Structure 1
Amino acid sequence: MTQKDFIPNLEPKNISPGEVSWQSPSNIALVKYWGKKENQIPANPSISFTLDNCKSTTTLKFSKKDEITGTAEFDFDFYFEGKQKEDFKPKITKFFQRIEQYCPYLKDFSFEIHSENSFPHSSGIASSASGMSAIALCLMDMERKLYPEFSDEYFTKKASFLARLGSGSASRSIDGGLVVWGEHKDIEGSSDEYAVAYPYKVHEIFRNYKDTILLVDKGEKQVSSTVGHDLMHGHPFAENRFRQANDNLKALIPVLESGDTTEFIKIVESEALTLHAMMMSSQPYFILMKPNTLQILNKIWEYRDKTGIPVCFTLDAGANVHVLYPENHETKILEFINNELVVYCQNGHYICDHVGDGAKKLYF
C-alpha cells in the first residue's frame, strides 16, 4: 500500500457521539532505527520485540461539531492519568497536522483524549511508541464507523502508518511478536510507510522472550530522540551505519529461525552499542549512558561467561538497560538481577516484561 491508499475517497457516514478505547504496548528494537528522512521515513529498517506489560491505555471520545467552517481548528482536550495536560497538546496538534490529509474528518469533530500508562511516567521508558500508537488505533476505530467498508488488513496498516507520523517507533507497536519497519529487500512486504509483522519462521525460544528493564535513570533525557535522529544528517559514519543495520537484519533471519542465541546476542548487543556510538560521534556529541549503565553491561558479560546462560542486553536512546533472555532461564536471571544488578538501578526499580501479542481493543 502507498500513501494515496490511506486517503479516504468515499463520503463519510453520519455517526453518533461515542468513544473507543485501545491498549497499545511499547516495543524494544533489536536492530535500531536511528536517522530519518522527511515525513518520518526511516533511514534504515529496524526490527523489534513487541512488549506486553509496558503499555498505554487510551480512550477517544468524539462528537461531531454543530457547525463547521472553512477556518476550523482541531478541537480536543488531552488528559493524562485523569489530569488535563495542556503541555502535551502541541504534540497532538502536530500529529493531527501530519495526518489530516489521511484523516480529513479531524476538524469536523470535537475530541477528548484520555491516556494512562501501565508503567510510571517517570520510569525512563519511552512512552511515545505506546501512546501514539494507541491514539492512532482509536482514530482508526472511529474511522471504521465513518467508512465501514475497509478490511482488517487496511485497518492495521493504516493504524501503523498514522502512528509512524506521530512517532517512528510507534509504527511497530500495532502487531505482536517480532515487527519490522522499513523497507528491506529480504523481508517480504516490508515498507517505509508502516510496520509489518515479521513474516518468516520464528523459533519457539524467541516467541516468549523475556525483557527485564533496569531503570538506571528516570530523569528526562538530555537530548531528545528527534534531535538525535537529525544529527545523523551529515554524520561521518551514517552511511556505514545504515548499511550495517540492513546487514544485521538480514543476518537475523536464519538466527530467528534456528534459535541460535549466540548469534542473536552478537547482533543485538552490537546494535545497542552502535546506537550509542552514533550519539557519541555526532556533532554535537552526547552520551546518554550513565556509569551504572556500564557497570550493568559488564556484570551481564561476566555472568554470561561464568554460567553459559544466553542472557544479553539492549539499550534504547537512554541510560536504562533491557535484559533479554529465554523464558526457561527466568528464575536464575531474576535471582542474578536481584543479587547483582538492582544496586545499579535508581531506587532499586526494574520492570519485568516479555514478548506480547500486540495492541488490543477494550470493550466496556
Structure 2
Amino acid sequence: MTATAVAHPNIALVKYWGKADADLALPATGSVSMGLDVFPTTTSVTLDADREARDTLTLNGRVVDDGALVRVERFLDLVRDLSGSDARAAVVSENTVPTGAGLASSASGFAALAVAAASAYGLDLSSRDLSRLARRGSGSATRSIPGGVAVWHAGDDEGSFAETIPAPPMAMVVVTIDDGPKEIGSREAMRRTIATSPFYPAWVTSTTETVQDMLAACAAGDFTRIGELTESNALRMHATIEGAFPPDPLPEQPQRRGLRRRRRAAGRRPRGLRHRRRRPERRRALPAGGTVPAWPRPWTGSARSSSPAPDQPLTWSAPNARGTTPRAEETTA
C-alpha cells in the first residue's frame, strides 16, 4: 500500500516560540498563521510487511540516514502505535521550499507525512486529530493541516490543535535573500531561549495577549491591525532570542532594513510610476505588514491584493484557501 499527500508551508502572523512540553510538542502559547499556496511538499509512504525491514527516507532524490531519518522513524512509531501495525515504511518526499532555511519546510514536510502515513496505516482521523498528529513531528506542522489563516491552540494533548479562522483576503510576498540552511535548528534555539533569555517570561505573557488581539482583528477584517500585530510580535520574538546565552546569530541586516523600509513606505504617498502612456499615473499603495522568520533567511511581507505575481526573486502567494485537510491518494503496490 502506498499513500501520497501534498501539504503547504505556513508563515506565522503570531509566532510559535517555545514548548510547554517538549515530548508532546505542546506550545507555551497559541499562535496564528497564514497558509501559502506555493512551495508544496509531496510525500509518499509505502508499507513493507517484512519484519526485518527498516524505515527509509528519500528526500529530494537523496537517501537520508542522518538525524532527519531518526525524526521520521520516531514519528512513524507514533502512527504504528495508533494503528496497531508493526509494518515499516519507505518515505519519499519532494520539498519545493528550501529545506531548513526558515520557510517552514518542516511544517509542510510533517503535515504531508502525517496525512500520508495515517492513510497508509489505515487510520481514519479527523482534521483536528491529524493536526494533533502532525504537531508531534514539527510544532508548526499542526497549522499546515487546516490551511488558510489558522490558529494553533495551546493546551494539553487533546486540546492543542489548529483550525481555520475567519480572516480578510490577504496575500504574501516572500523575498528570498539566502536559501542556505539555518546555523542553528529551531528546536535547539527554542531550548536555549527558554533556558537563558531573561525576556522569555514576558514573551509568553505578551504573545498570549497578542493571539487574542489577532483573532479579534481577523474576525473584524482589520488588515491594518493585523499588520501592526504581525510586525510587533516578530520584533518581540527576536528581542527575546537575542537575550539568550550564548548569543545566537542576529537577524540578517537585509531583513531588518526590509521591515524599516516597509514602515517608511506605509507612511508616505506613493510616487508616480511612468508607464507607456503620455501622462504619469499613480499606482495605489497597498496596505502591508511584514515579518521575519525565527532564524531568518527569507524576508516575508504580506499585502492585501489579488495582483499577479511579481518576477523572481519575489514569490507571491495567495492565502491557502482550501481550508481543508491535505488529502491522501492511495495506490496498491
Please give the TM-score of this superposition, normalised by the length of structure 1.
0.77
Deviations 1:308-327 (A, max 9, x none): 53111112112221110112
How many residue pairs get aligned? The number is 308
Q: Answer yes or no: is 1:241 the counterpart of 2:241.
A: no
**Please, which runs of 5 or more residues in structure 1 have no aligned partner?**
1-17, 339-347
Q: Secondary structure at the match of 1:75?
A: coil
Do the aligned partners of 2:226 and 2:289 also contact (CA within 8 Å) in 1? no
8 Å contact from structure 1 (residues 23, 362) kept in 2: no
Partner of 2:318: 354
Alignment of 1:322-333 (within 5 A): 322-328=300-306, 330=307
Deviation at 1:362, TM superposition (A): 4.1
- AA at the equivalent of 1:77: T
Q: Which amino acid aligns with 2:181?
A: E
Is the Cα contact below 8 Å between 2:115 and 2:327 reproduced in 1? no
Q: Secondary structure at the match of 1:221?
A: coil
* Per-residue deviation, 1:363: 6.6
Distance 1:140 1:94 in 2: 14
Task: Show the counterpart of 2:286.
Answer: 309
Q: Aligned equivalents of 1:122 and 1:35: distance in 2?
A: 18
1:157 maps to 2:136? no
Give the aligned partner of residue 276 of structure 2: none
2:59 pairs with one of 80, 102, 118: 80
Shift of 1:349: 2.7
The equivalent of 2:109 in structure 1 is 131
For 2:273, the equivalent position in structure 1 comes to none
1:117 is matched with: 95
* Alignment of 1:212 onto 2:173: yes
Whether contact under 8 Å (2:119, 2:330) holds in the other structure is no
Task: Report the Cα distance in structure 2 between the residues aligned to 1:274 and 1:103, rounded to whole angstroms.
Answer: 42
Q: Measure the CA separation in 2 of the matches of 1:317 and 1:169.
A: 12
1:114: Cα distance to partner? 0.8
| Offset of residue 134 of structure 1 | 0.7
Q: Which amino acid letter does the alignment assign opposite residue 249 of structure 1?
A: V
Is the counterpart of residue 25 in structure 1 residue 2 in structure 2?
no
The question of whether the paired residues in 1 share the 8 Å contact of 2:6 and 2:112 is answered with yes
Give the TM-score taking structure 2 as reference length.
0.83
Q: Distance in 2 between matches of 1:236 and 1:290?
A: 23
Indicate whether 1:173 and 2:144 are aligned. Answer: yes
Structure 1 residue 112: Cα displacement: 1.2
Cα 1:248–1:190 shift into 2, 3 Å: farther
Residues 252-331 of structure 1 aligned to structure 2 (within 5 Å) = 252-307=214-269, 309-319=286-296, 320-328=298-306, 330=307
Structure 1 vs Structure 2 CA RMSD: 2.6
Alignment gaps of 5+ in structure 2: 270-284
* Residue matched to 1:96: 76
Q: 1:225 aligns with which of 174, 186, 197?
A: 186
Aligned identity (percent) is 24
Change beyond 3 A, Cα 1:220–1:48? same
Q: Which amino acid aligns with 1:327?
A: S
State the alpha-carbon separation in 2 of the partners of residues 90 and 63 from structure 1: 18
Q: Quote the residue 2:49 is aligned against.
A: 64
Question: Which whole-Å CA distance do the structure 2 matches of 1:281 and 1:163 have between them?
Answer: 30
Query: SS in structure 1 opposite 2:172?
Result: strand
Q: CA offset at residue 190 of structure 1?
A: 11
| Residues 169, 213 of structure 1: alpha-carbon distance in 2 compared, 3 angstrom cutoff | same
Partners of 1:182 and 1:191 within 8 A in 2:
no
Using the TM superposition, give the Cα deviation of residue 217 of structure 1 relative to its aligned residue in structure 2, in angstroms: 2.0
Cα deviations by residue, 1:264-316 (Å, 9 ceiling, x for unpaired): 11101001111111110112222341121122112211221124531111121
1:43 aligns with 2:23: no
8 A contact 1:279–1:287 mirrored in 2: no
Amino acid in the other structure paired with 2:315: I
Structure 2 CA distance for partners of 1:118 and 1:233, relative to 1, 3 Å = closer
SS of alignment partner, residue 241 of structure 1:
helix
